[in-house]
Amino acid sequence: MGAPAERAARRAVALRLGGVAGLAALAGLAWVARDVPAALGGRLTGARAERAARSPQFRDGAFHNRAATRTMANPPDRSLIRELIFGKQRRRPRAAVPLLRPAEAPAAERQLDIVWYGHASALIEIEGRRVLVDPVWSDRCSPSAVVGPRRLHAPPVGLDELPPVDAILISHDHYDHLDMATVQALTARQSAPFLVPLGVGAHLDRWGVPAHRIVELDWSASHRVNGLTITATAAQHFSGRGLRRDGTLWSSWVVAGAHRKVFYTGDSGYFDGYAEIGAEHGPFDATLMQIGAYDVAWPTIHMFPEEAVAAHLDLRGGLLVPVHWATFNLALHDWSEPVDRLWAEAKARDVRLAVPRPGERLVVDDPPAVDGWWQAVA
């Protein structure tokens, strides 16, 4: 078997383990690197395990979605494997992704700015406070530094250039949302607490995050940080950093100040929980909506772009800001397809949309018009 065919075969086997997370996990386990065991994270034990077991989302030794979901066809559809090997999709940009450095902005009582760094990593600047979301600065979203999905663009700023933050939110423990090296660097450089779904604290423990900086929340639970109320809300997804699935919870997040509110989906399929969150916590000034890495093979755990617009409307959102695209090649669609489809649907449904370049500061009250910048590099 030649090298390209061998790589494709390994990738097809990885998809049996459950989409992109299974791919990254198998890559790391197949070529065991020095740092892989630590990157896999920790296991729930003691009081943490007991607390997880009391969650309404936990039964039979694992966390569950409210509705039945599947992460991958079993066995995988032959057409999907065929596309992996022979597909003609343009899954990478043909030119460099334009990167910006966020402009400085004075803090104000009703300020609401967003800086998207690529994929799902973003900074929410709200009423003079800063909340960092799903930070991943490593070159690969994988347990290994040698194999696994690699960045299609560099981070627009270094971790050491981030301003002091008030909280760090993690939506779930997949490698493209929770990165060991980034967590360890932020532990050393920042003093903010990590707010995570139930069980994810076990990974942070193993990576040296002090216990007093770990706040684990179940759905509907809130934590106050420097005048902000941050609430873990429902999502429809799954978790796991190795072959074991769903030992930690996944969530979306509500970040609320005295005057402004932002919603972040994390990873999720479209479900009726968005309307419930909108009724309880909305309206939102802005929503950070996951739009990439979708496929008909895992339709209930990642949203298609049109579903992201529907979810935004369910949430009673103001400005829609797409995330979870552009940075890692995690599915079979064209690199630019998620945002192309999103733009068309937003126009059809009269939804306010902003598509910032990585590193660009987005002023929610005065967003720039969508200019299709990505089409020039696609």
What is the pLDDT confidence band of residue 36, given thresholds at 50, 70 and 90? confident
Residue 101, pLDDT above cutoff 50? yes
Query: How confident is the model over 335-362, as a mean pLDDT?
Result: 98
Average pLDDT value for residue range 21-42: 60
What pLDDT is recorded for position 9? Answer: 35
Q: Is 106 left (phi over 0), alpha (psi -120 to 50) or beta?
A: beta
65-79, 197-211, 256-270: lowest mean pLDDT where? 65-79
* pLDDT tier at 244, thresholds 50, 70, 90: confident
Asked which of 66-80, 129-143, 168-182, 271-285 is least confident by mean pLDDT, the reply is: 66-80
Q: Given this model, what pLDDT does residue 14 score?
A: 37
User: Does the structure show a pLDDT above 80 at 16?
Assistant: no
Q: Give the pLDDT score at 297.
A: 87
Task: Please determine, for residue 352, whether its predicted confidence score (pLDDT) is greater than 90.
Answer: yes
* 338 upstream amide cis, omega within 30 of 0: no
Is the peptide bond preceding residue 156 cis, with omega within 30 degrees of 0?
no
pLDDT in tens, 313-323: 999 999 999 99
Confidence of residue 107 (pLDDT cuts 50, 70, 90): low
What is the model's pTM?
0.90
Q: Which of 223, 228, 181, 220 is nearest to 203 (CA)?
A: 181
Query: Exposure pattern of 325-355 as b/e (b: 16+ CB <10 Å)?
Result: bbbbbbbbbebbbbbbbbbebbeeeebebbb
What does the pLDDT look like over 273-287, one tens digit per residue?
999 999 999 999 999
Tokens, residue 283: 């309206």
SS (H, E, C) 244-266: CCCCCCCCEEEEECCCCEEEECC
Integer-rounded Cα radius of gyration of the chain: 19
- Token look-up 């005057």 returns 259
pLDDT in tens, 251-269: 999 999 999 999 999 999 9
Mean pLDDT of 212-218: 98
Q: What was the pLDDT predicted at 270?
A: 98
Calculate the CA 34 to chain-centre distance: 26
Residue 20 has pLDDT above 60, yes or no: no
Q: Is the pLDDT assigned to residue 359 strictly greater than 50?
A: yes
Residues 6 or more apart in contact with residue 55 via CB below 8 angstroms: 63, 198, 218, 249
pLDDT of residue 71: 74
Better pLDDT: 34 or 324? 324
pLDDT in tens, 148-200: 999 999 999 999 999 999 999 999 999 999 999 999 999 999 999 999 999 99
Q: Note whether 236 and 69 are within 8 A (CB).
A: yes
Q: How far apart are CA 104 and CA 378, in angstroms?
A: 29
What is the per-residue pLDDT across 285-295, written as a single tens digit (0 to 9) for each?
Answer: 999 999 999 99
What is the CATH code of the structural domain delimited by 112-376? Answer: 3.60.15.10
Determine the pLDDT at residue 1: 37
Range of weakest confidence among 9-13, 29-33, 131-135, 148-152? 9-13
- Domain residues of the chain, as ranges? 112-376
Output the furthest CA–CA distance in the chain (Å, rounded).
Answer: 62
N-term to C-term CA, the chain: 32
pLDDT at 35: 57
